[in-house]
């Protein structure tokens, strides 16, 4: 009896050294396939998508598609990792441009994070992963590690610097980072996931993030003498 073929393990095309993920060549054809797959998955969901339809949408032959990805599962995993890179890049840009005002840094970071998390593509990805996670638990684990865990680790590193500078009380920085992100999205994320509201506008985002930063600093901010 022939063993069932296992899909290749997807790797992050933009992984940084030390991430524990081997990088692969990221070229225009691969990106073209991923964008085609993203559109098909979003329109049809994971179960409704097929490699044939994805190839057609990406304007490549099925043979070319299978050169890059040997299964629908591998393609979906690659999209999750691509989203991880997009999120990490945006958060790194905010930290690179940081200013001396800690509260304003947090507000800028929070607004960037909320815009990413509430974008139509991100919401569609979350819904697809949740829908497929019961049969493909690796999708849920991968998204959790690529999103909440990775984001909290990056923000936690920044918070450690703020503890050292006296802006923040000593704390579990991973937990504090998770609290910060949750405060920033507050009810916005669940309303989107359940389809009871549309993408929030700038005013809604700023109002939610501003209050989230105040609550965060009330809990974690260092007392100035």
So where are the chain's domains? 25-70, 81-220
Give me the pLDDT at residue 24, please: 47
pLDDT-derived band at 151, boundaries 50, 70, 90: confident
Q: Can you give the pLDDT at residue 6? A: 43
141 touches 130 (CB < 8 A): no
- List the structure tokens of 83: 């989203």
Residue with tokens 């179960």: 47
Please tell me which of 7-21, 25-39, 208-222 the model is most confident about, judged by mean pLDDT: 208-222
The answer to whether 163 and 173 are in contact (CB under 8 A) is yes
Contacts of range 160-169, beta carbons closer than 8 Å, 24 or more positions apart:
162/102, 166/222, 167/102, 167/221, 167/222, 168/102, 168/220, 168/221, 168/222, 169/220, 169/221, 169/222, 169/223
Task: Check whether 33 has a pLDDT greater than 60.
Answer: yes
Q: Mean pLDDT across the chain, nearest whole number?
A: 84
Which of these CATH numbers, 1.10.10.10, 3.30.1490.20, 1.10.150.120, 1.10.10.60, describes 25-70?
Answer: 1.10.10.60
**What homologous superfamily is domain 81-220 in, according to CATH?**
Tetracycline Repressor, domain 2 (1.10.357.10)
**pLDDT digit string (tens) for 37-68?**
999 998 998 889 999 999 999 999 999 999 99
Rg (CA), the chain: 20
Between 85 and 180, the more confident residue is 180
24, 13 in Cβ contact below 8 A? yes
User: Which residues are registered as beta bridge partners of 182?
Assistant: none
The interaxial angle of helices 51-58 and 28-48, nearest 10 deg, is 140
Residue 184: is its pLDDT beyond 90? yes
Mean pLDDT, residues 155-166 taken together: 92
Terminal-to-terminal C-alpha distance of the chain: 74
77-82-86-92 Cα dihedral, nearest 10 degrees: 90
**Residue 86 clears pLDDT 80, i.e. is over it:** no
Q: Judge whether residue 21 has pLDDT over 50.
A: no
Please answer whether residues 41 and 78 qualify as being in contact, where contact means their C-beta atoms are separated by less than 8 angstroms: no
- For 195-222, what is each residue's pLDDT tens digit? 998 999 999 999 999 999 999 999 999 9
Give residue 99's pLDDT. Answer: 57
**pLDDT level of residue 76 (50, 70, 90 thresholds):** very high
Cβ(60)–Cβ(33) under 8 Å?
Answer: yes
pTM reported for the whole predicted model: 0.77
**Lowest mean pLDDT, pick from 25-29, 74-78, 135-139, 196-200:** 25-29
């Amino acid at each position: 009896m022939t063993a069932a073929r296992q899909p290749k393990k997807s790797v992050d095309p933009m992984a940084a050294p030390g991430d524990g993920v081997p990088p692969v060549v990221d070229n225009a054809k691969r990106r073209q396939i991923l964008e085609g797959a993203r559109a098909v998955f979003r329109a049809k969901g994971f179960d409704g998508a097929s490699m044939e339809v994805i190839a057609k949408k990406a304007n490549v032959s099925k043979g070319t598609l299978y050169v890059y990805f040997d299964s629908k599962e591998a393609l979906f995993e690659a999209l999750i990792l691509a989203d991880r890179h997009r999120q990490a890049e945006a958060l790194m840009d905010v930290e690179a441009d940081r200013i001396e005002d800690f509260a304003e840094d947090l507000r800028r970071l929070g607004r960037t994070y909320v815009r990413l998390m509430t974008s139509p593509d991100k919401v569609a990805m979350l819904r697809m992963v949740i829908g497929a996670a019961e049969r493909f638990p690796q999708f849920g684990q991968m998204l959790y590690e690529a999103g909440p865990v990775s984001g909290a680790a990056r923000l936690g590193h920044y918070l450690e610097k703020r503890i050292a500078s006296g802006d923040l009380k000593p704390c579990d920085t991973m937990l504090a980072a998770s609290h910060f992100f949750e405060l920033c999205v507050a009810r916005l994320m669940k309303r989107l996931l359940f389809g009871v509201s549309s993408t929030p506008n700038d005013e809604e985002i700023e109002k939610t993030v501003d209050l989230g930063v105040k609550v965060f600093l009330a809990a974690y901010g260092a007392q100035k003498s």
